[in-house]
Amino acid sequence: MKQPGCLLISLVFLLVAGAAFWLITSDHALLANPNRIAVIEVKGLIDDARETLRSIVKYRKDPNVKALVLRVESPGGGVGPSQEIYRELQRTNETKPVVASLGAVAASGGYYIASAAGRIFASPGTVTGSIGVIVYYPNLEELFEKIGYSMTAIKSGRFKDLGNPDREMTAEEKALLQQTIDQVHRQFIEAVAAARNIPREKIEAIADGRILTGETAKQLGLVDELGNFEDAVRAAAIMGKVEGEPKLVYAKKKGFSLLELLLGNQLAEQITNYPVGFAGIRYQAPLAP
């Protein structure tokens, strides 16, 4: 039978070992490398900005993080989430260097958020640009007639059921929607022009939704350098005045859902984020989802 003293020693040992393990496996400031570069990855459709925003704010406030690298692999997504991320990156870039690294695709909303960085890297073949706005509305009127389905809308105003799939959109509704899209498009153009310090008229000339290669984007001033992720990291280290080899820390990702476990990351994301019905006005490239 163990003596009380042995039990106490064992308990203290377990507590100390647990605390040490927590310090080692966490981002605790006591063990943080003072030359850290935070990597924030934005992959897939941009429809929920919360995790990305939390990571940006966390690393902006961390004194051991000298710079941020935003890795973008996205065809864009919702207007609101894209604008939220843009604003937080813009705020961060005022106090800490932010470098964007564009992957295979960083278009529309994907480019929108990247434009807030102080420096942008892209590969020559990166698909980017697509400065434009889109909204999807299905017209299922003929299908509903064939299957004998009908919909009754009780509304408070003539525009309240705009996008009702049971009928053709009226000319007045199309005009209202076009006016809204034009306004959001203007916001996109102004944000890129301001962030990249390019005259607005030059952005307007290419803001027709066209996709661009990284090489063309550099010629137009939308990208600073042709290079890969490692080139972006090296630039961030110089801009952040990192001494020696930088330590990369990655923003923690959310756990896997059952759908992701069964179908894989990419397919699950396409299914859950596919625009069905009114998906909102979007900064999204035509090659998505």
Q: What DSSP letter does each residue of 104-149 carry, written as one string? A: EEEETHHHHHHTTSSEEEE-TT-EEE----B------HHHHHHHT-
Residues in the chain: 289
Which residues contact residue 12 at a Cβ distance below 8 angstroms, ignoring those fewer than 6 apart? none
In angstroms and rounded to an integer, the radius of gyration of the C-alpha atoms of the chain is 24
Cα 157 from Cα 173, distance rounded (Å): 12
Nearest alpha-carbon partner for 251 in 43, 6, 1? 43
- Nearest alpha-carbon partner for 40 in 58, 25, 26, 22: 58
Residue located via tokens 């916001």: 187
**CA distances (Å), origin 240, targets 66, 137, 175:** 5, 46, 48
The CA distances from residue 278 to 130, 164, 267, 275, in Å, are 21, 9, 21, 7
Cβ neighbours, 10 Å, residue 263: 15
- Provide DSSP, 263-286: H-HHHHHHHHH---S---SEEE-T
Q: How many angstroms separate the CA atoms of 154 and 255, rounded? A: 41
Active site residue ranges: 108, 160
CB–CB of 105/126 below 8 Å? yes
- Say which residues have a Cβ less than 8 Å from residue 166's Cβ, sequence separation at least 6: 140, 141, 144, 150, 151, 153
